[in-house]
């Protein structure tokens, strides 16, 4: 009707931005799909759909013009944020329709009902995939004359909703097989507003996962069938994104791929080829964040090679203990096969990555550390050591699993997932397992100390040259890594403080209930410390950032001194005075190669070092004894400086994340290792 007011729908996939650093830096692809379907399916119905990623923008929009419908996505990082906005909408406009959807909902039907009962601000919780459910629900709402009461009296598919004073649940509709029926949010221009230099583009090439891991939401039967987007569509999307990044936000080097098993399928090699073409044409992406599959490793390696090192081989194992794997319905690649893959990967100059989860059912400190050290000796370049998160929607979170394995859980604020919106503090909080019938809490803390050691001394290969020398003396990588914890515990100064502070935060970040956690951070003095990043951040990344940029000289000294001690203890170092002289040069060499500092200028600046030995050649030769053939006739001053490519990538990342600790905590996981490595340049020959 001419002159009528359009029906307004706000669809929000929110990420906290109060701290000045985004808690989640991926574009809101999920609500992009919802709008794309609505724009297509509701043509002629005069519906205006707006998307939101930032809570401050949504708050302003709701207070200025409350919508007819608000749909908020519910993930573990924005659950409280979603509830806040539904409450705010109902306070401003009680007749509006308040909808929540997303995977962060208990798996058991009776607990789904209890969840909605506990949150009166929710009119309807949409279950399953929301691409078409959002359009279908909006159509039903329009057909009732935009009456929430009338809508709730009817049957709503794939939903938990209020009806006649109680909460009811309908059956979840099957997933759609034909993904290409969903219009592309990129090719339709829907995502254009999010190319703002802050949010990384995210694509999805398929949906579903064939595995049944109990700790993962996609391990449930609902997601077991894999469906695919068309390759021609993906090629168009990737080209569109690359051109858009190049033209509007060239500092954004990251691409996120949402697939749970990228690289496992033959078509993924072709998709990687598309990305390689974009690297040549647009210089993007420089970093690809994706979880690669645990099967078909040779295919994953093909993908790695096509994107010029921007993607890392991600062979997540979660545990290497057979009983634990049975408890969580997971099968892993065999360790001997894993070792062969690592040899192949290193031979091609590529990098590998893995995951371990602490706190899984049946895991002990001994089995967990055995798995960690097995990965080290197998040659994996990097591994992330997570704590078992009790994700709503996963089998691990069910009441039956909790009772069977006697979980001890604690609550902690999610890093950077907090803020003040309007006049209300909002905290998103996670529940993690810190103890089971096989893992006492004291062992949990000890394992976390090993995780920190692993993060600082193994991940990112900061000390790979030291390990070359250690191997010459038959010092196993696992023995060396274990000794690094001893080095931190016996060190003084900033290194010992770094470890002690980490342990203190590890214990003090945990609360017995969600309410206790929220109340603690709500206190003005604690909230201010949280805002400054002093508490409540991702501890592993925070302390890695401290070690990498602020305390690098002392961390390097602790590692080199302990390694020297271990080598000398073998009795095979030859002339001690000669070896000590060489080792001092090795120390200078390694410290200078790593770009560190407290300002962008200091990080980027070249470093001059005077060496009495050809350290580069000694390390390249495998660290042989005697060392006298590597002594220079005269000491030589050399310069270490970043490569042109590395300097550009690091400078762009620092522009996005800054040199503040809260930003560096994000940055350390979003740059290639090589970008922070200075190359040695000798003076020109006379």
* Predicted confidence (pLDDT) at residue 438 exceeds the cutoff of 70: yes
pLDDT band of residue 346 (cuts 50, 70, 90) is low
3-state secondary structure of 226: coil
User: pLDDT value at position 597?
Assistant: 96
Beta pairing, strands 678-681 & 631-642: antiparallel
- Cross-strand bridge partners of residue 73: 101
d(CA 619, CA 470): 11
Are 631 and 613 contacting, i.e. CB atoms less than 8 angstroms apart?
Answer: yes
Q: pLDDT tens-digit profile of 84-134?
A: 999 999 999 999 999 999 999 999 999 999 999 999 999 999 999 999 999
Please choose, from the candidates 442, 365, 362, 357, the residue with its C-alpha nearest in 3D space to the C-alpha of residue 407: 362
Please choose, from the candidates 87, 61, 133, the residue with its C-alpha nearest in 3D space to the C-alpha of residue 141: 133
3-state secondary structure of 609: strand
d(CA 203, CA 242): 12
3-state secondary structure of 180: helix
From residue 77, give the alpha-carbon distance in Å to each of 23, 196, 208, 662: 8, 21, 21, 17
Q: pLDDT tens-digit profile of 306-345?
A: 998 788 776 778 888 889 989 998 876 666 666 666 666 6
pLDDT band of residue 510 (cuts 50, 70, 90) is very high
* Predicted confidence (pLDDT) at residue 429 exceeds the cutoff of 60: yes
Contacts of 3 (CB under 8 A, 6+ apart): none
Give the gyration radius of the chain's Cα atoms. Answer: 27
Give the CB-side neighbour count of residue 17, counting CA atoms within 13 A: 16
3-state secondary structure of 246: helix
d(CA 451, CA 369): 9
Terminal-to-terminal C-alpha distance of the chain: 86
Are 359 and 385 contacting, i.e. CB atoms less than 8 angstroms apart?
Answer: no
- The CATH number of the structural domain formed by 7-169 is 3.40.50.280
Residues above pLDDT 70, as percent of the chain: 96
d(CA 126, CA 103): 10
The average pLDDT across 191-202 equals: 97
User: pLDDT value at position 656?
Assistant: 86
Beta pairing, strands 202-203 & 254-257: parallel
User: pLDDT value at position 1?
Assistant: 43
The dihedral sign for the CA sequence 74, 77, 83, 89: negative
Q: pLDDT tens-digit profile of 648-684?
A: 999 999 998 899 998 899 898 888 888 999 999 998 8
Per DSSP, the residues of 426-481 read EEEEEEEEEEBTTB-HHHHHHHHHHHHHHHHHTGGGTTHHHHHHHHHTT--HHHHH
d(CA 611, CA 631): 9
Contacts of 336 (CB under 8 A, 6+ apart): none
User: pLDDT value at position 543?
Assistant: 95
Please choose, from the candidates 402, 409, 389, the residue with its C-alpha nearest in 3D space to the C-alpha of residue 511: 409
Distance of CA 3 to the CA centre of its chain: 48
Q: pLDDT tens-digit profile of 535-586?
A: 998 999 999 999 999 999 999 999 999 999 999 999 999 999 999 999 999 9
* Predicted confidence (pLDDT) at residue 218 exceeds the cutoff of 50: yes
Are 619 and 648 contacting, i.e. CB atoms less than 8 angstroms apart?
Answer: no
3-state secondary structure of 290: coil
Are 668 and 541 contacting, i.e. CB atoms less than 8 angstroms apart?
Answer: yes
From residue 593, give the alpha-carbon distance in Å to each of 267, 480, 590: 39, 21, 5
d(CA 630, CA 621): 10
3-state secondary structure of 274: helix
User: pLDDT value at position 418?
Assistant: 97
**Does the N-terminal peptide bond of residue 203 adopt cis geometry, omega within 30 degrees of 0?**
no
Q: pLDDT tens-digit profile of 60-80?
A: 999 999 999 999 999 999 999
DSSP 294: S
The average pLDDT across 348-373 equals: 88
* Predicted confidence (pLDDT) at residue 459 exceeds the cutoff of 80: yes
User: pLDDT value at position 666?
Assistant: 85
Are 259 and 204 contacting, i.e. CB atoms less than 8 angstroms apart?
Answer: yes
Dig out the tokens for 578 from the structure.
């000669």
Dig out the tokens for 43 from the structure.
């043509």
Q: pLDDT tens-digit profile of 517-529?
A: 999 999 999 999 9
Contacts of 399 (CB under 8 A, 6+ apart): 108, 111
**Does the N-terminal peptide bond of residue 285 adopt cis geometry, omega within 30 degrees of 0?**
yes
Residues above pLDDT 90, as percent of the chain: 77
DSSP 261: T
DSSP 106: -
- Average pLDDT in the chain: 93
Please choose, from the candidates 295, 248, 243, 298, the residue with its C-alpha nearest in 3D space to the C-alpha of residue 274: 243
- What are the phi and psi torsion angles at 290 (to 5°)? -150, 150
* Predicted confidence (pLDDT) at residue 232 exceeds the cutoff of 60: yes
pTM: 0.88
Where exactly are the structural domains of the chain? 7-169, 575-681
From residue 46, give the alpha-carbon distance in Å to each of 61, 137, 307, 437, 502: 19, 15, 44, 58, 55
* Predicted confidence (pLDDT) at residue 610 exceeds the cutoff of 80: yes
* Predicted confidence (pLDDT) at residue 488 exceeds the cutoff of 80: yes
Distance of CA 404 to the CA centre of its chain: 30
Contacts of 478 (CB under 8 A, 6+ apart): 373, 374, 376, 377
d(CA 609, CA 589): 8
Contacts of 56 (CB under 8 A, 6+ apart): 17, 18, 421
Q: pLDDT tens-digit profile of 271-303?
A: 999 999 999 999 999 999 998 876 677 788 888
């Amino acid at each position: 009707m001419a002159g009528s007011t359009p029906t307004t729908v706000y669809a929000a996939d929110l990420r906290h931005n109060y701290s000045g650093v985004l808690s989640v830096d991926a574009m809101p692809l999920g609500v992009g799909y919802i709008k794309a379907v609505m724009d297509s399916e509701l043509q002629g119905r005069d519906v205006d759909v707006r998307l939101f990623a930032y809570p401050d923008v949504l708050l302003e929009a709701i207070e200025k013009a409350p919508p007819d419908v608000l749909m908020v996505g519910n993930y573990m990082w924005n659950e409280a944020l979603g509830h806040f906005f539904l409450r705010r909408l109902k306070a401003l406009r009680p007749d509006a329709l308040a909808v929540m959807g997303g995977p962060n909902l208990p798996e058991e039907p009776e607990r789904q009902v209890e969840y909605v009962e506990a949150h009166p601000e929710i009119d309807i919780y949409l279950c399953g995939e929301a691409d078409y459910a959002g359009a279908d629900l909006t159509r039903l709402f329009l057909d009732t004359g935009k009456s929430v009461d009338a809508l709730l009296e009817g049957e709503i598919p794939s939903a938990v909703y209020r009806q006649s004073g109680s909460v009811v649940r309908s059956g979840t509709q099957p997933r759609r097989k034909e993904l290409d029926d969903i219009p592309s949010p990129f090719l339709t221009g829907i995502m254009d507003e999010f190319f703002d230099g802050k949010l990384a583009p995210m694509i999805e090439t398929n949906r579903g996962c064939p595995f049944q891991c109990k700790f993962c939401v996609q391990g449930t039967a609902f997601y077991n069938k894999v469906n695919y987007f068309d390759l021609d569509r993906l090629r168009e999307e990737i080209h569109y994104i690359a051109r858009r990044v190049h033209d509007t936000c060239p500092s954004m080097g990251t691409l996120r791929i949402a697939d749970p098993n990228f690289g496992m399928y033959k078509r993924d090699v072709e998709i990687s080829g598309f990305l390689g073409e974009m690297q040549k044409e647009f210089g993007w992406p420089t970093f690809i964040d994706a979880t690669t599959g645990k099967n078909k490793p040779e295919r994953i390696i093909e993908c790695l090679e096509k994107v010029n090192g921007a993607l890392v081989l991600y062979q997540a194992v979660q545990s290497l203990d057979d009983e634990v794997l049975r408890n969580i319905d997971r099968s892993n690649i065999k360790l001997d096969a894993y070792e062969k893959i690592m040899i192949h990967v290193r031979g091609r100059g590529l990098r590998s990555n893995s995951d371990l989860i602490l706190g899984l059912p049946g895991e002990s400190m001994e089995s967990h550390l055995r798995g960690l050290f097995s990965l080290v000796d197998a040659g994996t370049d990097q591994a992330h050591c997570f704590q078992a998160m009790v994700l709503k929607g996963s089998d691990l979170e069910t009441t039956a699993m909790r009772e069977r394995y006697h979980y001890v859980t604690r609550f902690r604020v999610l890093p950077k997932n907090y803020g003040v919106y309007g006049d209300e503090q909002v905290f998103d909080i996670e529940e993690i397992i810190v103890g089971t019938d096989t893992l006492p809490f004291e062992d949990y803390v000890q394992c976390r100390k090993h995780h920190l050691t692993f993060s600082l001394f193994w991940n990112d290969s900061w000390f790979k040259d030291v390990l070359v020398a250690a191997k010459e003396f038959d010092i196993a990588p696992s023995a060396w890594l274990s000794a690094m914890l001893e080095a931190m515990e016996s060190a003084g100064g900033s290194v010992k403080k770094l470890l002690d502070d980490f342990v203190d935060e590890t214990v003090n970040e945990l609360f017995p209930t969600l309410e206790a956690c929220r109340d603690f951070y709500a206190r003005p003095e604690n909230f201010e410390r949280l805002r400054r990043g002093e508490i409540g951040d991702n501890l592993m990344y925070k302390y890695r950032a401290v070690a990498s940029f602020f305390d690098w000289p002392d961390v390097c000294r602790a590692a080199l001194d302990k390694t020297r001690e271990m080598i000398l203890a073998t009795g095979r170092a030859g002339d001690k005075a000669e070896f000590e002289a060489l080792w001092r040069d090795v120390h200078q060499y390694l410290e200078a190669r790593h770009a560190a500092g407290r300002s962008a200028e200091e990080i980027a600046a070249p470093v001059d070092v005077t060496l009495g030995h050809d350290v580069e050649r000694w390390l390249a030769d495998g660290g042989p004894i005697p060392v006298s053939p590597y002594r220079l006739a005269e000491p030589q001053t050399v310069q270490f400086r970043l490569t042109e490519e590395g300097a550009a990538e690091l400078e762009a990342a620092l522009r996005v994340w800054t040199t503040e600790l809260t930003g560096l905590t994000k940055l350390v996981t979003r740059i290639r290792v090589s970008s922070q490595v200075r190359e040695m340049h000798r003076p020109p020959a006379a």
